[in-house]
Structure 1
Amino acid sequence: MVSTFAPQAAGDLNFLKKLNRSSILATVRRYPGATRADIASRTQLTKATVGGVVQALLERGWLREGALQPRGGGRPGRALYLDDSHHVLLGADIGVRGLRLVACTLGGEVLLQRYVTEPPTTPEATAVRLAAMLRILRDDPAIAGRHCLGLGVTVPGPVSPVDPILRLAPNLGWVDVAFLDVLREHLTDLDGIWLLDNEANAAAFGEFFFHDGIPPESIVYISAASGIGSGMVTGDNFPLVPRGGQGLVGEIGHTIVQPGGLYCHCGNRGCAETLVSGWAIRAALGIADDENLEAAIMARGEDTEVDVTLRRAGEALGILMLNLHHTLNPATLVLGGSLMRLGERLTQPALSYFEAHQNDLLRGTQRVPVKVIHDSTFTAARGAAAEVMAKAALEA
C-alpha cells in the first residue's frame, strides 16, 4: 500500500533517491515558497542533492519556480511551489449509497467532482458504471490536457494489507473482491498508479497529506455513514497508515459495545453499528432504505423518538471516540461521514461524552482537538487521490 515502505537492502541508492524526492516534495507542500537552501536546511540533505532533485522535478512538471527570495548576506534563491498546472490525481469512492469521483491537483485542489446517488449492486455492474463515469470525467476540458498520475479507489470495508482485495463489505454484501482487476477490464487506457483502500483510511490520509501547513503528529478520522469505521495516519514526510495483519485496524463499527445485543450485518451481535450507523438509525425510526435519511428526520421535527434515537447514537459515537483516544491516542480526531449532516442532535451528545471523559486517565486539562466535517461527500475520494500522489512521488 502507499503508506508502508517495504524493507530495502542497505545502501539501496535508488530507494534513497525516492525518499529524497518524496521528502523534498513534502517540504514544498508544507512550506510553499521555500527555496533550495530552505529545503536543504529543513531536510538535512546536501545542497547538491536538493538541487539535482529539484531540477528533475521542475523538468517533470511537479514543481515551479517563483520570485527570487532575498537572503541576508547570501545569494537570493528562487521560491518553489507545487506545479498545479500539468498533472491530475483521480480518486473514486464506492459508498454504500452512491459513487463519488474527484480530480485533484498536486496540492489537493479539487478541479472536478461528480456524485451519483445510485447504490452499488454487484462488483461487475459497479465497475462498468464507475469506468463510464471516469471516462466522462477525463474528457472534461478542465482536465483533458493534464497528465494523469493514477487512480485511487476506496471501498466500505477492510482491504488486505498485502494485495488490493476487498475482504468484506458487509453493507454491500461483497466478499473477497479484487475490484481493481474487475475495473481494469473496463478502463484499459488509464495508466499510472492504481490503488485500493478502505474509505476511512483514505479519508484520514487525505486530511493528513493535504493539511494546510504542518499537520498534527497523528490524525484519526471517524467515518460515520451507512456503516462506521475509522482510519489513522501518523508520520512526517512519509505518512503511515497502521493496517494490522489482516487489514482490520480501524474497523470500530464492528467492535462489540452491547454483548448479546442486536444482530449486525457482519453476523455478530452488539456491534457499534447496531447503535450508530445510517442503517441502525433507519431501522430504529422506520425510515425506508430508499428515503433520504436527513430529509426524513427533518420532516419529523422535534419528534421525541427521533431525539432519543439520535442521542443514543451520539453517545455511542462518543464512546467510540473515547475508545480510540485510549487505544490510539491521536493528536487530532476528525468526525466525518454522511451522519454529520444530521447536525447537533447527533454530534452534541458525542462531543459532550468525549469532553467529559477524555481526561479520566490523565487527571489533567489537556484536550484533544476534534474537527467536525459537516459535508464530507468527497473526503474519501480526495484522500484516495492524495494516496496516489504519495505513491507517485516515490515512483516518479
Structure 2
Amino acid sequence: MPPTPRTEAFPAHTPAASQVFTTVLSHGPLTRSDIGGRAGLSAAAVTKAVRPLMEAGYLVENAEDPGQEARPSLGRPANPVRVDGGRALFIGVKITGDEIIAVLTDLCCRIRSARHLPLTAREPRRVLTAAAELVRELLAEASGFGVPVLGLGLAVSGDVDRAAGVVRYSPFLEWRDIRLAELMGMTTGLPVTVDNDVRALTVAEQWFGAGVGLSDFALVTVGAGIGCGLVVHGQVVSGAHGVAGEIGHVVIDPAGPLCHCGNRGCVEAIAADSAIVAAVREATGVAVADAAAALDLAHRGDQGARDVYTRAGEAIGRAIGTVANLFGPERVIISGEGLAAYDLFAEQIRDTFAASAFGTAAQCDLRTHPLPFDEWARGAAATAIQSFIRPTTRH
C-alpha cells in the first residue's frame, strides 16, 4: 500500500519570506547579497527570511553545489544559498481528451518519474478513478525517496476556476462544473490545486523555464487548441472570471469556419489541429485521418494542404500581435504539439505578427520552445509547488 500522505506547512510566514524562496528557486544558488538585490530587500530582511527556511531544510548553504561554479569574492567568502530540491515531492497530472499524464517532481520541479495512461472514456468518474490510480502509483514510488509528497496539481484545458477548484467547462473532455479539487482531495488525501493547463505551463515557464527573470511575457500554445498564458508585472493573469488569455477565441474572420464556442472565424477554428485537418480534407479531397497525416501531406508538397497551414500561421501571428498590442510582453514563447508544423507556418506567424503589432510592440522577442506532454504535467506540479509556497494561491 502507498504511504499515507502527510501535510506540512511551509515555514514562510511573510510575503518577504515567500519572495526570498521563489527568488532562490528560480535563480539560485545566490548569495544573500544577490537575493537582496533581486528581491529588493535589505540584508536584515533577507537574513530574517532565510533563517527559518534553512532550519526547516528548504534552503541550504553550500558553496560547492554540483554543477555550479564557485563565485570569486574578496574578504570573507559569501556562500551561496540554494533550494534543497530533494526536501519534498509533488505530483502533477495533465488530463487531455485521450490520455492522462502524471509526473512525480521534486521541489525544484525536476521530473523524477512519469506515467502515461490512455483514456478510453471521458465520463468524469472514470477519468478521476484512472487519475487517482496513477497518483497512488506515484505515491508508492515516492516512498522510496524518504520525503513527503506535499501537493497534487491537476491541469485541464478550458475554463477552470482555480480558486474554487472547479472545471467550469472543458471542451475536449466535455465536462461542465466538475468539483475536481474536492473530488481528488477526498480520493488521494493530498492538498489539490486545479488550473487551466496553459496557465499551469506558464507557471512552470515563469519559475523554471524560458520566462525566468521576465516580469512580462506570454506563452502561446498551438495544437489541439490555441491557448495563451500571460504574466504581467510578475503575476500570472487569470482574470476576474478565470478565462484571461483565451486568444483561441479571438475572431479573425467573422465569415470563417464555425468554432465549438459558437462563433465563426476564431483563431482556434482556423489554426487548431482539428480545424487544420478539416480544412485540408476540404482543400485537397484527401481523407486525412489526423493532424499527423495532414502534416505529412503538406510536407510532401500538396499545395492545398500547404495553403491551409499558411492561413493557420497568419491567424496565429495576428493573435500574437493582439497580445503584444494589449500587454506589451518582453517575450512571447510559442509552444505546444502544433510546433511539429512550425516549418510550414513560421514565416507567416512572424510576418503577420510584425504587420499587426503596433509600434515598438513589434520588438517583442518571439521564441519557440517545444515541450513534450510530460512538461504539461510538470506545469501542474508547478502549480502545486506554488500553492504550497504561497498558500493564498491554493483553491
Give the TM-score of the pair, scaled to structure 1: 0.84
Q: Report the 3-state secondary structure (helix = DSSP H, G, I; strand = E; otherwise coil) of the residue aligned with 1:220.
A: strand
Cα distance in structure 1, aligned partners of 2:98 and 2:339: 15
Q: Report the 3-state secondary structure (helix = DSSP H, G, I; strand = E; otherwise coil) of the residue aligned with 1:275.
A: helix
Check whether the contact 1:64–1:82 (CA below 8 A) recurs between aligned residues. yes
The share of aligned pairs that are identical, in percent, is 27
- For structure 1, the residue ranges without an aligned partner over 5 or more in a row are 1-13
1:164-243 aligned at under 5 Å gives the runs: 164-187=165-188, 189=189, 191=190, 193-211=191-209, 214-235=212-233, 239-243=234-238
> 1:351 maps to which residue?
350
> 1:266 maps to which residue?
261
Q: 1:136 to 1:384 in 2, by over 3 A?
A: same
> 2:313 maps to which residue?
314
- For structure 2, the residue ranges without an aligned partner over 5 or more in a row are 1-9, 65-70
For 1:271, the aligned partner's letter is C
Q: Report the 3-state secondary structure (helix = DSSP H, G, I; strand = E; otherwise coil) of the residue aligned with 1:343.
A: helix
Q: 1:81 to 1:317 in 2, by over 3 A?
A: same
> 1:370 maps to which residue?
366
> 1:284 maps to which residue?
279
Q: Report the 3-state secondary structure (helix = DSSP H, G, I; strand = E; otherwise coil) of the residue aligned with 1:135.
A: helix
> 2:4 maps to which residue?
none
Cα distance in structure 2, aligned partners of 1:15 and 1:142: 23
For 2:167, the aligned partner's letter is L
- Cα distance, 1:395 vs structure 2: 4.3
Q: 1:375 to 1:26 in 2, by over 3 A?
A: closer
> 2:31 maps to which residue?
35
Q: Deviations over 1:287-332 (max 9, x none)?
A: 889x552255325622222111111111111111111111122111
- Cα distance, 1:335 vs structure 2: 0.9
For the pair 1:79 / 2:80, whether they are aligned, the reply is yes
Check whether the contact 1:166–1:178 (CA below 8 A) recurs between aligned residues. yes
For 1:279, the aligned partner's letter is S
Q: Deviations over 1:239-262 (max 9, x none)?
A: 422222221211111222222432
Cα distance in structure 2, aligned partners of 1:292 and 1:118: 18
Q: Deviations over 1:106-136 (max 9, x none)?
A: 2232222333343661121111111111211
Check whether the contact 1:264–1:273 (CA below 8 A) recurs between aligned residues. yes
109-118 or 152-161: bigger deviation: 109-118
Q: 1:120 to 1:353 in 2, by over 3 A?
A: farther
Q: Report the 3-state secondary structure (helix = DSSP H, G, I; strand = E; otherwise coil) of the residue aligned with 2:160.
A: coil
Check whether the contact 1:167–1:177 (CA below 8 A) recurs between aligned residues. yes
Check whether the contact 2:205–2:212 (CA below 8 A) recurs between aligned residues. no
Q: Deviations over 1:136-186 (max 9, x none)?
A: 123236964332121111111022264121121123221122122232343
> 1:10 maps to which residue?
none
36-45 or 240-249: bigger deviation: 36-45
78-87 or 343-352: bigger deviation: 343-352
- Cα distance, 1:214 vs structure 2: 4.9
Q: Deviations over 1:73-125 (max 9, x none)?
A: 4x433321110122112211112332222222222322223333436611211
For 2:353, the aligned partner's letter is F
Cα distance in structure 2, aligned partners of 1:318 and 1:43: 35
Check whether the contact 2:166–2:177 (CA below 8 A) recurs between aligned residues. yes
- Cα distance, 1:268 vs structure 2: 2.4
- Count residues in correspondence: 372
Q: Report the 3-state secondary structure (helix = DSSP H, G, I; strand = E; otherwise coil) of the residue aligned with 2:203.
A: helix
For 1:265, the aligned partner's letter is H
Q: 1:159 to 1:213 in 2, by over 3 A?
A: closer
> 1:159 maps to which residue?
160
Of 58, 65, 72, which residue of structure 2 is paired with 1:62? 58
Check whether the contact 1:96–1:226 (CA below 8 A) recurs between aligned residues. no
Cα distance in structure 1, aligned partners of 2:169 and 2:259: 14
Q: Report the 3-state secondary structure (helix = DSSP H, G, I; strand = E; otherwise coil) of the residue aligned with 2:172.
A: coil
Q: Report the 3-state secondary structure (helix = DSSP H, G, I; strand = E; otherwise coil) of the residue aligned with 2:240.
A: coil
> 2:331 maps to which residue?
332
Cα distance in structure 2, aligned partners of 1:320 and 1:365: 13
> 1:92 maps to which residue?
93
1:97-136 aligned at under 5 Å gives the runs: 97-118=98-119, 121-136=122-137
For 1:29, the aligned partner's letter is L
Check whether the contact 2:274–2:291 (CA below 8 A) recurs between aligned residues. no
Give the TM-score of the pair, scaled to structure 2: 0.84
> Root-mean-square deviation (CA), in Å?
2.9
- Cα distance, 1:373 vs structure 2: 2.0
For 2:272, the aligned partner's letter is S
For 1:284, the aligned partner's letter is A
Q: Report the 3-state secondary structure (helix = DSSP H, G, I; strand = E; otherwise coil) of the residue aligned with 2:52.
A: helix
> 1:389 maps to which residue?
385
Which structure dedicates a bigger proportion of its chain to helix?
2
